[in-house]
Amino acid sequence: MDYIARLKRLKEERGLTNAEIAELSKIPLSTVKRIFSGGDDRHSDDHHSFHAITEITLSLGGSLDEIAGIKTPEQRMQSPRIENVITNYADLLKSKDEMIAEKNERISEKNDAIEGLRKQRDKERREKHWLALFTALLVAAVVGTLIFDALNGYIGYFRY
């Protein structure tokens, strides 16, 4: 199958007119008509510009490999389409975002746990501080009472 026949097949698959192809590819309508008609005696298939064929092929959503006969339509369908690649990449990004969200949630939970432990530690420190202060005051009161009692022999436990 020559490249004109491949272009015609693409045109039929897309259901486009020569005028629509000319508008999409920015190739003059006369050139598009001449290419799809197979050329005339003055312009054989070998004389069509590579640029025109390229632009028409791309505007039809085909590949130059396919038009040149390097890839068949079946092979083209088997190769990863850009839409599939984009979809797979979008899915990968979504999965990555979900993983990041889960990780951030776990980090937040750990930070909350750490904050809770810090508050508990601070509370225990305050309790120990108050207990130590109360104990010191109690010891000071007992020692002060004993000293007062020892210095004043006429009252208290020690009398002399």
The CATH number given to whatever domain includes residue 62 is 1.10.260
Nearest to 49 by CA among 99, 87, 57: 57
Kindly tell me if the per-residue pLDDT of 45 is higher than 50.
Answer: no
How do residues 50-93 score in pLDDT, each as one tens digit? Answer: 889 989 988 888 888 877 877 655 655 555 567 777 888 889 99
User: Does any domain span residue 32?
Assistant: yes
User: Does any domain span residue 61?
Assistant: yes
User: Does any domain span residue 88?
Assistant: no
State pTM to two decimals: 0.41
Kindly tell me if the per-residue pLDDT of 33 is higher than 60.
Answer: yes
Radius of gyration of the chain (CA): 45
The number of folded domains in the chain is 1
User: Does any domain span residue 34?
Assistant: yes
User: Does any domain span residue 8?
Assistant: yes
